[in-house]
Amino acid sequence: MSDSYIPTRPVTVVNVSRIVTCHYHEFGAGFVFEGERHNFWEMVYVDKGSVLIGREDEETVLSQGELTFHPPNEFHAVKSHSSSPNFFVISFECSSPAMRYFENFRRRLDKTLKSHLAPLMSEAEKNYRIKGNDPKKNRLERRESRPFGGEQLVKIGLEQFLIYLLRAETDKEDITLLPEKAGEKNPLIAAVLAFMGDRVEDNLRISDLCYEFGCSRSFLTRLFQQDTGESPAAHFTKLKIDRAKELIRETELNFSQISQRLSFENPQYFSRVFRRLTGMTPTEFKNRAMI
């Protein structure tokens, strides 16, 4: 009877593997932290007042209710800005592709997002000594008396908040996650392009990309079109034909074998697509390549 059940592995969009540090700072108006660089993510939320965030060669004022991220290996510093600030900082390890959304990210949290952040901050304080105003403290200090399963709830709470934050961003009509420099690829689209390149021989669909990167079909298609000038399907088909050209020139595979290897429906369809994109049949291309 048990053989008739087919288990489903839940899609994991954000997976936090480790919590590195967690602080709730209450500094005076003269506070200055000169800065650091580390190989994990850091999230900063200003609960009261404002701070001046320095990153690489720029400075940004982060006011009450605003949140930002520092991606791995980004230099960052912080100091008070015209007030005595309170701010929450949590650093963590996460290699999920969806985290690329949070590079160069800044947002003012609305009531809904604050309601998702508050339980994380509360659970963190129940499990760790997060107050103390030591920005250089490099490890978590567990409380001797902690609620059962509390540390797991911190991890889950952080993942949940990040997912709700991603939802809020991807549900926007206007796309605000574009790169700031002209000609620079959006980090998400750069990751999608790399993913396509690695799987050019697979039968990759737009739904597979949405599954992998945790975003809606309409959002990904719109962002991809805006960043590359073509649809994901059109770009992936071009990658396949480029790969087909390599296989024709460099291997002894026949066209049926190449069609199968590149996951085309059949050799006839492969030939039609090849001719549409190159202006010649696979046979004509092979003959020219051998000249």
User: So what's the pLDDT on residue 176?
Assistant: 42
Do residues 197 and 219 share a domain? yes
Do residues 202 and 289 share a domain? yes
| Distance from the first to the final alpha carbon of the chain | 63
Do residues 158 and 244 share a domain? no
Q: What is the pLDDT along the chain (291 residues), one digit of tens a residue?
A: 567 888 877 778 899 999 999 999 888 888 888 889 999 999 999 999 999 999 877 888 999 999 999 999 999 999 988 778 999 999 999 988 888 888 888 899 999 999 999 999 999 999 999 887 677 788 899 999 999 999 999 999 999 999 999 888 776 544 444 444 445 567 788 888 888 999 999 999 998 888 888 778 888 888 888 888 899 999 999 999 999 999 998 889 999 999 999 999 999 999 999 999 999 999 998 888 775
Pairing of strands 41-48, 86-93: antiparallel
Q: Is residue 8 part of a domain?
A: no
CA distance 82 to 266: 67
SS3 24: strand
Do residues 147 and 186 share a domain? no
User: So what's the pLDDT on residue 11?
Assistant: 75
Q: Is residue 4 part of a domain?
A: no
Residue that finishes a domain, picked among 142, 170, 198: 170
Question: Can you give the CATH number for the domain in which 61 is found?
Answer: 2.60.120.280
| Burial degree of 37 (CB within 10 A; 0-12, 13-18, 19+) | exposed
User: So what's the pLDDT on residue 174?
Assistant: 44
User: So what's the pLDDT on residue 173?
Assistant: 41
Residue that finishes a domain, picked among 123, 138, 170: 170
Question: Can you give the CATH number for the domain in which 189 is found?
Answer: 1.10.10.60
Residue that finishes a domain, picked among 170, 195, 228: 170
Do residues 119 and 191 share a domain? no
User: So what's the pLDDT on residue 261?
Assistant: 95
Do residues 206 and 258 share a domain? yes
Q: Is residue 206 part of a domain?
A: yes
Question: What's the number of domains the chain is made of?
Answer: 2
User: So what's the pLDDT on residue 179?
Assistant: 44
> Does pTM top 0.85 for this prediction?
no
Q: Is residue 6 part of a domain?
A: no
Do residues 48 and 153 share a domain? yes
User: So what's the pLDDT on residue 188?
Assistant: 80
Q: Is residue 184 part of a domain?
A: yes
Q: C-alpha distances in angstroms, 173 versus 164, 176, 219, 222?
A: 16, 9, 9, 10
Do residues 222 and 86 share a domain? no
| Strand order, beta sheet including 76-80 | 32-36, 76-80, 50-55, 58-63
Do residues 136 and 36 share a domain? yes
Domain range for 74 is 18-170
* Residue 149: Cβ within 10 Å count: 11
DSSP code for 131: B
User: So what's the pLDDT on residue 136?
Assistant: 77
Do residues 42 and 151 share a domain? yes
Do residues 275 and 214 share a domain? yes
CA distance 7 to 246: 40
* Residue 177: Cβ within 10 Å count: 19
* Residue 205: Cβ within 10 Å count: 12
Q: Among candidates 213, 99, 221, 210, which has minimal Cα distance to 162? A: 99
Do residues 73 and 119 share a domain? yes
CA distance 105 to 66: 11
Q: Is residue 5 part of a domain?
A: no
